[in-house]
Amino acid sequence: MSTTPAGPLVLLVEDEPQMRRFLRVALDAEGYRLVEATGAGEGLRHAASYNPELVLLDLGLPDGDGVDVTRQLRTWSAVPIIVLSARGQEGDKIAALDAGADDYLTKPFSTGELLARMRVALRRADLRDGHEEALFTAGALRVDRARRQVFVGEREVRLTPTEYRLLAELVRHAGKVLTHRHLLKEVWGPGRISQTHYLRVYVQQLREKLEADPSRPRWLRTEPGVGYRFVQDAGD
C-alpha cells in the first residue's frame, strides 16, 4: 500500500481563534502539518520541541511581542518566519524583518497569497541548506556570481560595483523582503543606514538597466514603506 509523503511541518503562533481555524483548514487542504500555539512562550517552546520547517507568527500576542519571538528564534534557528501583521503596524513589520523574519502578510490576506509566500520561503530554505548556485536565473535575467556578470537574454548588462552589490544582495535573498536598513547596511555600510535616497536612486538605475518596463518592474519590486523584494518567479 502506497502512502502519501508527509507535508512540511508548520508552527502557527496566533492567539485569534478565527484566524487559527481559517489557517488550519487552508493548510490542511494543501497537505501541510500544523502545530498551534496561542502565545509567545508556547510558540518558543513548540519551536524547540517540534523543529518546524516554517513558522507563521502573529505580531500581537497576549504574553509577548512577535518581534521579540523572532529575535529569540534567530539566536538558535534559521527556520523561515512569515509574520502575520494587522493593518497600521508598518513599524512593527520593519522591526520584525530586521530581527530576522523572512516575509510578512498584512491581515486580511488571501489563502492563495499566503500559500505562495510559504512556497517561496520553503524553497529559499532548501537552497540555503544545500548550496548557492554560481549561476542565478530568473526568466531572461542571469547573474553569474562567479564572474560577477549580469545578462538579460544574450545582452551583458554593465553594472557599477555598487549596483552589482545591491543586485547580488537582493538575488541572494530572492523572494524575501529586505528592509531599507538591511540593504543600506549590507551595501553601503552601517554608517549609511538612514540614507534611504541612496536606495531609491540605485534601485531605479537597476530597473532602467534590467527591466523591460522600469515603471512596472517584474523583478525589483517595492514594498512601500518597508524595502524591496527580488521576485524570481512570476507567480511569487
Q: What percent of the chain has pLDDT over 90?
A: 66
Mean pLDDT computed over every residue of the chain:
89
Instruction: Specify the CATH number for the domain of residue 35.
Output: 3.40.50.2300
15 and 88: one domain? yes
Q: Which residue has the higher pLDDT, 1 or 184?
A: 184
What Cα–Cα distance (Å) separates residue 212 from each residue in 18, 94, 232? 43, 30, 15
Whether 154 and 168 share a structural domain: yes
Do 20 and 120 fall within a single domain?
yes
Alpha helices in the chain (DSSP H): 17-29, 40-50, 66-73, 90-99, 111-129, 161-172, 180-188, 196-210
- The number of domains in the chain is 2
Residue that finishes a domain, picked among 105, 129, 153: 129
Q: Is 10:35 a contact under the CB 8 Å cutoff? A: yes
Cβ–Cβ contacts within 10 Å for residue 44, how many? 19
Check pLDDT > 60 for residue 236.
Answer: no
> Quick one: 89 and 142 in the same domain?
no
Containing domain of residue 141, as a range? 135-230
- Asked if the model's pLDDT at residue 132 lies above 50, the reply is yes
pLDDT in tens, 180-233: 999 998 888 877 777 888 899 999 999 999 999 999 999 999 998 899 999 987
**pLDDT digits 0-9 by tens, 14-38:** 999 999 999 999 999 999 999 999 9
pLDDT of residue 207: 97
Q: Are residues 164 and 58 in the same domain?
A: no
Segment 52-100, tens digit of pLDDT? 999 999 998 999 999 999 999 998 888 999 999 886 577 888 899 999 9
**pLDDT recorded at residue 57:** 96
Same domain, 109 and 139: no
CATH number of residue 147's parent domain: 1.10.10.10
**pLDDT-based confidence at residue 5 (cuts at 50, 70, 90):** low
Which of 129, 153, 182 terminates a domain? The answer is: 129
4 in any annotated domain: no
Q: What is the pLDDT of residue 115?
A: 95
Q: What is the pLDDT of residue 88?
A: 59
